[in-house]
Structure 1
Amino acid sequence: MATMKSLWTAGAGNVEVLDVERPVPGPKDALVRIRACGICGTDVSFLHMGGMPARAHLGGELVPVPLGHEPAGEIVEVGAEVTGLKTGDRVVVDPTDHPSGLIGCGGRYGAMSEYLLIENAEMGKNLATLPDTVPFAVAALNEPMAVARHAVNRSEAKPTDKVVVFGAGPIGLGAAIWLKLRGVEHVVVADVIPARLEKALAVGADAVIDSAREDVTARLTDLHGQAANALGQPRPGTDIYIDAAGAPAVFDTVVTNAKWHAKLVMVAVQKKGSEIDLGGMLRSELTLVASQGYPTEIFEVTPELAEHQERFAKLISHRVPFSDVERAYELALTPGAAEKVVVAFDE
């Protein structure tokens, strides 16, 4: 039996590299050698919990799970019935479309492994190819950038809109990039970590706000002009707010500042509930739009990721070899220690 190394949860705050059976592709499957895989906030959530609730009794016993759902790699085997894909193709993966469950999110397989089985492999459905000019570490950003792209698509931002993104993590910065590539005239990024704000300017944001030290209302008014809510009360002229931070303070800030017919797109996972000021929403007729995953965007972003790879590469703060993968997860678990950690399997 051929084996491979695979990363699994091992109790609260811990991971473990296991030797597991290397999958064998069937006639409709493809086997991908993983070359890079990003670490997501979802992975960190699993580590905080120490695993995932077993399907048979959700909310009860936690079971270990294989991690990783942001992979890039190359095909090393294809089944006899697979068409449009061949050995040697460099690919990114949709982790959601697999009979054995979500890759790295409770399914049978995780992408933080030396090899990943793609069941019912189909070009454009659960795999997409990309040119060999794209580094695997950048290609591993495909999945989170699809999340960011969906938020921007949900915003329906027009070139004349003035937008602020709260949260300069990978999703927030990705949203800022997509907004600028969409032609949006003025994009502001707000965060509490100065280094992240510097990164926001580097990837194309027009301005930044240090919300821990600056008056957000005054800065937005200065940047976007003055407007009003439905009662004529003065408000910044910001058209669209994107919450990529998930902190209750962001929601409160938006409601306080929203002008008449402003829009809030919520893409961050809310870490704990916020008391919603419904009266404030009413006074601005604020539209709240939720953005979850990437219904159509997972491979929509792939060619543009390749075209603008140098800009997207700036999102990666740490590249860590798989031989030191435990350290990679320590970085991801430490608040403020890293922005985007990508694990490389060829270093």
Structure 2
Amino acid sequence: MEGTTMRVADFVDPGQVAARGDATRPSPEPGEVIVAVAACGICGSDLHMFRNGAYRDQLVRATPEGYHVPGHEFAGTIAAVGAGVEGWAVGDRVVGVTGFGGGMADYVAVPVNPFQLVPVPDGVDMIEAATTEQLADGLQMVRKATIQPGENVAVFGVGIIGLSVIQAIRARGIETGHVIAIDVHQARLDAARAHGATAAVNARDGDVFDQVAAITGTEEGYQGISARIGAVFDCAGYIKHMPGLPPLETALRLIDLNGGRIVCFGGYEDRMTIDFGPVIQKQPTIMGSNGYAAEELVEALAMMAEGKVDRSALVSHRFPITQAPEAFAAQCAPEAIKVMLTMDRN
């Protein structure tokens, strides 16, 4: 690698990201490669951090200058190979996933293991490839939910993760009843319909239970009332400034009287208060989902290569790394789905 410095996005404080051009370029440790990043997405967890500092200790990687670099979902080419690394070479096109940020930079070190480094197939461009981790997350959530034939499904929060859940359901050929997207932003609801949702519910238009029940009908019993939803994917979590019930409480209202599943993925910005009574009454399974199986990274890329999913359509904005502040501002806007930082080197 030529030169000793690189460009990075620096998370300074909530609401403040700076573009730096003098960060120290990393060198590979044994068992690592250095990836020359082509594109890196702003994740929902990055946005939680940007709003109020949530998860900061898990989402940034410090440079020797003290810059705190976010970014854990990216694609690029291998620029250097560390000692003991086999099966990888300079120039290989790869998807990288890091546990503690660092991807919003010209170069980032990535450990060589199947959870963090996978090859990009021919025909998949770098922008698409940089969305691999989110699709793999969606594939794991769908696997965990064990959707039964004909079941109605609800997806709370249809940013890139919720949309990935919908794409995963369709790409795996799962036979569902309704797939209902729930959000407060119309642009995202429109995208959900375009990528496989059968109905869209805007939480700003009234009680979510009532809106969903108007689509699916209701069922009543000694356990209470449900909106005939077999599986709920909570990709919204808890956002402190959003009015109304936390999505998890609404999910408990929606879920079937028996055998319902709720998969929780969205980040929680703080503690929250909810009515937990339906957990006793309906006996649903509530499970967390954090990441993916290694084979789901490969499956996600294969789906892109085979044209089973359209990932590029989910990238609503692209900014060069030198405009990192503008990129984070754009990701906060209601029309944004996925904002991508690119490391154009021309």
TM norm. shorter chain > 0.5: yes
Say yes or no: does 1:185 pair with 2:188: no
Map of 2:317 onto structure 1: 318
CA deviation vs aligned residue, 1:315-343 (integer Å, no higher than 9, x gap): 211111223222112222x3425221001
Decide which of 119, 122, 125 is 1:129's aligned counterpart: 119
2:88 to 75, 85, 88: 85
User: Which of 247, 252, 257 matches 1:250?
Assistant: 247
* Alignment partners' CA distance in 1, 2:272 and 2:54: 26
* 2:8 corresponds to: 6
2:10 alignment partner AA:
W
Q: State whether residues 162 and 184 of structure 1, in contact with CA within 8 Å, keep that contact through their aligned partners in structure 2.
A: no
Give the 3 Å change call, closer, same or farther, for CA 331–82 of structure 1 in structure 2.
same
**Separation (CA, whole Å) in 2 of partners of 1:10 and 1:3:** 19
Paired letter, 1:260: L
SS in 1 for 2:68: coil
**In the aligned structure 2, how far is the partner of 1:79 from the partner of 1:24?**
8
Contact kept in structure 2, 1:94 and 1:298, CA below 8 Å: no
Letter in 2 for 1:171: I
Structure 1: tracts of 5 or more residues without a match: 56-62, 97-101, 105-109
Q: Greater shift after overlay, 46-55 or 168-177?
A: 46-55
Residue type at the aligned position of 1:294: Y
Q: Give the conservation status (yes or no) of the 8 Å contact 1:11–1:51.
A: no
Partner of 2:145: 155
1:168 corresponds, among 158, 180, 194, to: 158
Q: How many residues align structurally?
A: 325
- C-alpha distance after superposition, 1:38-68 (max 9, x if no partner): 011222333345697779xxxxxxx752111
Q: Which stretch of structure 1 is more off in the superposition, 174-183 or 250-259?
A: 250-259
- Is 1:24–1:31's contact at 8 Å kept on the other side of the alignment? yes
Shift of residue 226 of structure 1? Answer: 3.4
Q: What is the aligned partner in structure 2 of residue 144 from structure 1?
A: 134
1:71/1:309 CA distance change after superposition, 3 Å: farther
**In the TM superposition, what whole-angstrom CA distance separates every residue of 1:282-311 from its partner, at most 9, and x where no partner exists?**
222222222222354444423223334752
Judged with a 3 Å threshold, the aligned counterparts in structure 2 of structure 1 residues 321 and 169 are, in CA distance, closer, same or farther, namely same
Distance 1:216 1:127 in 2: 40
Deviation at 1:234, TM superposition (A): 4.4
| 1:207/1:342 CA distance change after superposition, 3 Å | same
1:224 aligns with 2:216: yes
Q: Say which structure, 1 or 2, has more relative contact order (CA 8 Å, 6+ apart).
A: 2
Query: Any conservation in 1 of the 2:35–2:76 contact (CA below 8 Å)?
Result: yes
Identify the residue that residue 117 of structure 1 maps to in structure 2: 109
Task: Give the AA of the match of 1:311.
Answer: D
Decide whether the 8 Å contact of 2:122 with 2:305 is kept in 1: no
**Given the two structures, how large is their TM-score scaled by the length of structure 2?**
0.84
User: Structure 1 residues 268 and 125, CA, compared in 2 at 3 Å: closer, same or farther?
Assistant: closer
* Corresponding residue SS for 1:301: helix
Residue from 76, 80, 88 that aligns with 2:79? 76
State the distance in 1 between where 2:283 and 2:27 align: 55
Match of 2:227 in 1: 236
What SS class does the counterpart of residue 342 from structure 1 fall into?
Answer: strand
Percent sequence identity over matched residues? 30
RMSD: 2.6
After superposition, the C-alpha distances for 1:226-246 in whole angstroms (9 at most, x for unaligned) are 3334x0654322111111112
Amino acid at match of 2:140: H
Cα distance in 1, alignment partners of residues 265 and 225 from structure 2: 27
Please report how far the alpha carbon of residue 140 of structure 1 lies from its aligned counterpart in structure 2 after TM superposition. 0.7
1:128 to 1:213, Cα distance in 2 relative to 1, 3 A: same
How far off is 1:271 after superposition? 2.8
Aligned positions of 1:177-216 closer than 5 A? 177-182=167-172, 183-186=174-177, 187-216=179-208
Is 1:331 matched up with 2:330? Answer: yes
Q: Could you tell me how far apart the structure 2 residues matched to 1:290 and 1:27 are?
A: 33
Consecutive unaligned residues in structure 2, runs of 5 or more: 59-65, 239-244
